[in-house]
Amino acid sequence: MNITRNNVDAQNAIITIELAKEDFQGNVEAVLKNYKKSATIPGFRKGAVPMSLVKKQYGTAVMFEEVNKLLQDNLNKYLTEEKIDILGNPLPVAKDINWDADTLSFEFELGLAPDFTVDLGAKNKITKFNIVADDAMLEEQVEFIQKQYGKVTAKDKVEEGDAVRVKAVNEAEGINAEFNLNLEDIRTKTNQKKFIGKKVGDVVTLNTKGLFEDDHKLMDTLKVDHDKVHGLEVDVDFTIEEVTSTEKAELNQEFFDKLFGEGKVTSVEELKEKIKEDAEKQFAQQADQKFTNDVVEFLVEETKFDLPETFLKKWLQTVGETPLTEEQAAEEYEKSEKGLRYQLIEGKIITENELQITFDEIKDYTSNLIKDQMAQFGQMEPSEEDVENIVSRVLSNQEEVKRISEQLMNEKMVKLFAEKVNVKTKDVNYKDFIKESYGE
């Protein structure tokens, strides 16, 4: 057997494997001998079929199978020993093979992984936001909690400050949604007053333009697509199905104990501090995700390397359950190219910064996740045995292991980016974060 490599260019190579008959003939003979023991051919007892008939019936198929095994085993071994980094899988080159020849020659196309460098410290325009819960937001949240735990009373007629359950309809736009609506959520006093004095069954018509402070609320309530909601300007009929008023819960020790446990919070100031802590923890996750996305976009844009595009399109035609046409493969390549580029960039970052994840890290990370979840339900000091049992159950599920590993790696990447990417930081409240991040 002889294996040679010919580099077509920096992105493509051809591997040629030459097999002599003696490389595979022994395996073929051994398989055929086993076939002879169990072959069933009319006119012969089982195990007594002449080898000539066995070869005639099974010889060609067995030879193809044994040659293919030999090719795959040795091709993979060669790629590993020579440390050849490839994209996709080797593709056999279609050509006529003279199976009677003393030496058989096979060729495989390779798409070579590019050689490149990643400069995390390169100059950029990325901003890392630190979202703070400001006083206005804390006041809103306190009032929200008071209403959430307050006494709700059903009413016949709408008054200022009430909540209504409405059915919103605009048949032309395909809008048909039911939801609860606090009158204070409506942006203008003019629109709020249109509900005052109305009763169950009455219809109020409002235009969607500027109906709420944030178009995302319009998207969530009316079930309108993100791309469609911005600039949407249509009349919607709101049929009142229920009217309720809420007497806000009193901010006293009984209320604090009900929310957080006895003695955990003893004043409005401590309540706000607790809300601030919880809110900013959630905000940090959103800010980190935005930061990560911005770094990824920057790295994909600024890290230059060529891909074996022609090879990858050809490979995409064969890799799925259903073969693709050239046009379909080209479309698939366009959709996946950016993701492939980042996979390569991420792989290099992980290797160069030794971010590989061990199973012990996954176990520890899972344990902390479980303890945090248990704490949310009041179990502040679970036993180690209980936690370990839950960890074992979680990690017996391969999908969960994959999800947790990705989550852990994402946190490692965020930490690395924060340390090595030169960015400016900016403190903002949540509304300004949405505005500056998404222009909405």
Assess whether 337 and 214 both reside in one domain.
Answer: no
Backbone angles phi, psi at 104, to 5 degrees: -105, 135
Assess whether 188 and 237 both reside in one domain.
Answer: yes
Assess whether 340 and 397 both reside in one domain.
Answer: yes
309 part of a folded domain: yes
Model pLDDT for residues 106-165, shown as the tens digit of each residue: 999 999 999 999 999 999 999 999 999 999 999 999 998 998 899 999 999 999 989 999
pLDDT average, residue stretch 308-317: 95
Total-model pTM? 0.75
Assess whether 108 and 169 both reside in one domain.
Answer: no
Model pLDDT for residues 325-383, shown as the tens digit of each residue: 999 999 999 999 999 999 999 999 999 999 999 999 999 999 999 998 888 776 778 88
CA distance 83 to 346: 19
pLDDT average, residue stretch 271-277: 94
Model pLDDT for residues 226-267, shown as the tens digit of each residue: 778 878 899 999 999 999 999 999 999 999 998 888 898 999
411 part of a folded domain: yes
* Total domain count, the chain: 3
- Residue 385: both structure tokens together: 């045995």
57 part of a folded domain: yes
* Alpha carbon distances (Å) from 338 to 169, 334, 412: 40, 8, 22
Which comes out higher in pLDDT, residue 431 or 329?
329
pLDDT value at residue 440: 55
pLDDT value at residue 439: 65
Assess whether 275 and 412 both reside in one domain.
Answer: yes
pLDDT value at residue 394: 93
pLDDT over threshold 80, residue 42: no
The enclosing domain of 193 has a CATH number of: 3.10.50.30
Assess whether 13 and 106 both reside in one domain.
Answer: yes
Which domain-ending residue is among 247, 282, 314?
A: 247
46 part of a folded domain: yes
Which domain-ending residue is among 89, 112, 135?
A: 112
- The rounded percent of the chain whose pLDDT value lies above 70 is 99
pLDDT average, residue stretch 414-428: 94
pLDDT over threshold 80, residue 47: no
Model pLDDT for residues 55-108, shown as the tens digit of each residue: 888 888 999 999 999 999 999 999 999 999 999 999 999 888 888 888 999 999
* Alpha carbon distances (Å) from 223 to 85, 169, 175, 232: 47, 11, 7, 13
Range of the domain at 286: 267-438
CA distance 127 to 291: 7
131 part of a folded domain: no
- Reduced 3-state DSSP string for the chain: CEEEEEECCCCEEEEEEEEEHHHHHHHHHHHHHHHHHHCCCCCCCCCCCCHHHHHHHHHHHHHHHHHHHHHHHHHHHHHHHCCCCEEEEEEECCCCCCCCCCEEEEEEEEEECCCCCCCCCCCCCCEEEEECCCHHHHHHHHHHHHHHCCEEEEECECCCCCEEEEEEEEHHHCEEEEEEEEHHHECCHHHHHCCCCCECCCEEEEECCCCECCHHHHHHHHCCCHHHHCCCCCEEEEEEEEEEEEECCCCCHHHHHHHHCCCCCCCHHHHHHHHHHHHHHHHHHHHHHHHHHHHHHHHHHHCCCCCCHHHHHHHHHHHCCCCCCHHHHHHHHHHHHHHHHHHHHHHHHHHHCCCCCCHHHHHHHHHHHHHHHHHHCCCCCCCHHHHHHHHHHHHCCHHHHHHHHHHHHHHHHHHHHHHHCCCEEEEECHHHHHHHHHCC
CB of 270 within 8 A of CB of 257? no
132 part of a folded domain: no
pLDDT average, residue stretch 313-326: 92
Assess whether 284 and 433 both reside in one domain.
Answer: yes
Assess whether 176 and 82 both reside in one domain.
Answer: no
Q: How far, in whole angstroms, is CA 109 from its chain's centroid?
A: 31
pLDDT value at residue 100: 85
Assess whether 358 and 279 both reside in one domain.
Answer: yes
Assess whether 86 and 179 both reside in one domain.
Answer: no
Q: Is the torsion defined by CA of 437, 284, 125, 118 positive or negative?
A: negative
pLDDT value at residue 299: 96
Assess whether 241 and 277 both reside in one domain.
Answer: no
Strands ordered across the beta sheet of 2-7: 2-7, 12-20, 103-112, 86-92
